[in-house]
Structure 1
Amino acid sequence: MNLLFIADPLESFKIKKDSTLAMMRVAQEAGHHLWFCESRNILWKENLVVADCQSLLIKPSSTSWFELGASEARALNSFSAILMRTDPPFDIEYLNTTWLLSAAVRQGAKVFNEPAAVREHSEKLAITEFPDLIPPTLVTRELGAVEAFHKIHQDIVIKPLDGMGGMGVFRVGPDGLNLASIVETLGENGARTLMIQRFLPEIAQGDKRVLLIGGEVVPYALARIPQGSEIRGNLAAGGKGVAMLLTETEKRIAEKLAPILYQRGLFLVGLDLIGGFLTEINVTSPTCFVEITEQSSFDVPQFWLKALEKAVS
C-alpha cells in the first residue's frame, strides 16, 4: 500500500512515544510505502485534491530518524489510504483541511478518520449523544448557569471545548474560590462556550484512554494518573501512564460505542473514561499506542495495521 500521513512537522515528534511514528514504523516493516505532508500541503489543483508530498523512510537512528524524498504533487485518490494525524486545535484551518479531504473522498480517496465524521464529532460535545454514560455535565457560556451547577455539585471541573492535553482545565471546590474569574477568563466574558462537569475523585486512579480501532476494542487502557497536587492525568500535563486491562464497565461502554462510531467512518477513536464515566471521544489524533504496547502483551500498532489493511482491501 501507499500510505500518506498528514501530520505535524516530523521534527516535532516525540520519537520515544509518538503513536503516529509507531504506525509509520509498523507499516514500513510490513513492506508498505510511506508518504508525508503537512495539512498546509493539501490543495485543490486542476479539479483534483492534491498533496505536495514526499516519500518517507523511517531509519533506526534515534537522532536522524527519517529521510524524505523530493517533493512531488500526487492526487489523494492515488494513495491506498490517507491518515490524518494533525494534532488539534480544531480551528478554521483544521476545518478547511477536512473540507478538502471530503472533496478527495468524493474523488475516491480513502481517508482515516473520514473527514465528515471528524467534523460531526466534537471531542468534548460528542459525549452528549450518550447521556447515560457521562457524569453530570453542563455546556454553557453563562456564568449564572455555572454558579447554579456548582451550587448543586459543589466540586466541579471547567474546561474549554477546544483544549487538548489537559490545557485550560480548572477545578473549583466547595468554597467556589475564583469561580467567576475562571469562567470569565476561560469563556472570554461569554464569548466562548465551556464544558463543566462534576469532579470525579476516581481521577486519582487515572483518566483511562481506551482505543477503538476498526470497530474493535483494544483490551488494555492507558490509565493516565495525576501526579502530586495536579488534578489532570494527561501525559502532556505530567501524568503517569499505566497500562491496565479494561474493567467490565469500561469494556461495556467501549463495546457499545465501537460499532456505532466505526459505521460513521471513525476508524480510530480514543475514549476517555474516569470512574466508569465517559468524558471525551477523541477522533482527531488519538495516542497511547506505544505506552500500551510497551506495558502489556498487546501490540497496538500491529492491531491497527491489520485493521487498516482490512479496511482498505
Structure 2
Amino acid sequence: MKIAFLADPLSTFKTYKDSTYAMMVEAAQRGHEVYAFQQKDMAVAQGVVTARVQRITMTGDSHDWYRAADPVDTNLGEFDAILQRKDPPFDMEYVYGTYMLELAEKQGAKVFNKPSAIRDHNEKMAITQFSEFTSPTLVSGDEARLRAFQKQHGDIILKPLDGMGGAGIFRIGADGMNLGSVIETLTGNGKYTIMAQKYIPDIVKGDKRILVINGKPVPFSLARIPQNGEVRGNLAAGGLGVAQPLTERDFEIANALGPILAARGLLLVGLDVIGDFLTEVNVTSPTCFQEITQQAGFPVAATFIDAVEAAAAVK
C-alpha cells in the first residue's frame, strides 16, 4: 500500500512518544510505502487535488529517524490511504484542509479520519451528543448563563472550544473567585462561545485517554494524572501518564460511542474520561499510542494499521 500522512513537520516529532511516528514505523515494517506532506503542500487546480509529497524512509535511529526524498506533486487519489494527523488549532486553515481532502475523496482518495466527520465533531462540543455520559455541561458565551451555571454547581471548569493540550482551562471554586475575569478572558467579552462543566473530583486519579479503533476500544487507557497542584492532566501540561485497564464504566462509554463514531467515518477516536464521565471526543490526531504500548504491552499501532489496511481494502 501507499500510505500518505498529512502531519505537522516531521522535524518536530518527539519520536519517543509520537503516535504518528509509531504508525509510520508499523506501516514501514509491513512493507507499505510511507509518504508525508503538510497542509500547506496541498492545492486544487482545475478541480484536482494535489500535494507536494515526500516519500519517507525510516532509518531506525530515534533521533535522525527518517530520510525524505525530493517532494513530488502528486494527485492524492493515487494513494491507498491518507491519514489525517495534523494537530489543532482547528482554525479556518484546518477547515480549508478538510474541504480539499473531501474533494480528494471524490477523486478516489480514502482519508482517515473522514474529513467531513472531523469537521462535524468539534472535540469539545461532540460530547453534547452523548449527554447521558457527561457531567453537567453548558455551552455558551453569555455571562449571565455562565454565572448561573457556576452558582448552581459551585466548583466548575471553564474552557475554550478550540484548544488542545489543556490550554486555556480554568477551575473556579464555589466562592466564584475571579469568575468574571475568566469569563471575560475566555469569551472575549461575549464574542466567543465556551464550555463550562461541573468539576469532577476524580481528576486527581487521572484524565483517561481511551483509544477506539474502528469502533472497538483498546483495552487499556492512559490516565494522565495532574502534577504539582495542576487541575489539568494533559501530558502537554505536565501530567504523568499511567496505562491501566479499562474499567467497566470505561467499556460502557467506549462500546456505546464506538460503533456510532465509526459509522460516521471516524476510524480512530480518543475519548477522554474523568472518573465516570466523558469530557472530550478527540478526532483530529489522537495520541498515547506509545505510552500504552510501552507500559501495557498492547500493540496499539499494529491494531491501528490493521484497521487502515482493512478500511482501505473496502471497495
State the distance in 2 between where 1:295 and 1:45 align: 47
In the alignment, is the contact (CA less than 8 A) between 2:15 and 2:63 conserved in 1? no
Residue ranges of structure 2 left out of the alignment (5+ in a row): none
Q: CA deviation at 1:175?
A: 1.2
- How far apart in 1 are the matches of 2:70 and 2:14? 24
Q: Which residue of 2 aligns with 1:164?
A: 164
Q: Secondary structure at the match of 1:52?
A: strand
Partner of 2:96: 96
1:107 is aligned to 107
Between 1:245-254 and 1:56-65, the stretch displaced more is: 56-65
1:262 equivalenced with 2:259 (yes/no): no
Contact 2:2 2:80 in 1 (8 A): yes
**Corresponding letter in the other structure for 1:262:** A
What amino acid is the match of 2:34?
A: L
Deviations 1:223-279 (A, max 9, x none): 000012101000000000000100000101100111100010000000000011011
Q: Which 4+ stretches in 1 moved above 2 angstroms? A: none
The 5 Å alignment of 1:191-230 reads: 191-230=191-230
For 1:52, the aligned partner's letter is R
Q: How does 1:75-86 map to 2 (within 5 A)?
A: 75-86=75-86
Equivalent residue runs for 1:125-140 within 5 Å: 125-140=125-140
Partner of 1:273: 273
Note the aligned Cα RMSD (angstroms): 0.7
Tell me whether 1:304 sits opposite 2:304 in the alignment.
yes
Tell me by how many angstroms 1:307 deviates: 1.0
Q: Which residue of 2 aligns with 1:45?
A: 45
Q: Which amino acid aligns with 1:158?
A: L
Q: What is the alpha-carbon distance in structure 1 between the residues aligned to residue 63 and residue 121 of structure 2?
A: 37
* 1:66 CA drift (Å): 1.0
Report the Cα offset of residue 63 of structure 1: 2.4
Q: Determine the structure 1 residue equivalent to 2:188.
A: 188
SS at match of 1:233: coil
| Correspondence for 2:121 | 121
Instruction: Measure, in 2, the Cα distance between the counterparts of 1:47 and 1:280.
Output: 35
Q: Extract unaligned runs of 5+ from structure 1.
A: none
Tell me which residue corresponds to 2:26. Answer: 26
User: What's the counterpart of residue 287 of structure 1?
Assistant: 287
1:231 matched to 2:228? The reply is no
Offset of residue 91 of structure 1: 0.2
Separation (CA, whole Å) in 1 of partners of 2:144 and 2:118 = 32
1:154-211 Cα offsets, whole Å, 9 max, x none, are: 1000000001000000000011110000010111101111100000000001000000
Structure 2 distance, partners of 1:189, 1:271, is: 31
TM-score by length of structure 1 reads: 0.99
1:130 is paired with a residue of what secondary structure? Answer: helix
Q: Structure 1: how far apart are the matches of 2:119 and 2:159?
A: 20
> Match of 1:258, SS?
helix
SS in 2 for 1:224: strand
Q: CA deviation at 1:108?
A: 1.4
CA deviations over 1:57-88 (Å, ceiling 9, x no partner): 12122321111001101111100000010000
Cα distance in 2 between the residues matched to 1:269 and 1:81: 17
Distance 2:52 2:225 in 1: 40
Q: Number of aligned pairs? A: 313
Identical columns (%) = 51
How big is each residue's C-alpha offset from its partner over 1:88-135, in whole Å with a ceiling of 9 and x where there is no partner? 000000000000000001111100000011111110001111111110
Contact map agreement 2:28 2:34 (CA 8 A) in 1: yes
Q: Does 1:177 align with 2:177?
A: yes
Q: Is the 8 A contact 2:210 2:221 kept in 1?
A: yes
Q: What SS does structure 2 have at the residue aligned with 1:175?
A: coil
Question: In structure 2, what is the Cα distance between the partners aligned to 1:37 and 1:249?
Answer: 39
Q: Distance in 1 between matches of 2:278 and 2:13?
A: 28
Q: SS state of the match for residue 254, structure 1? A: helix
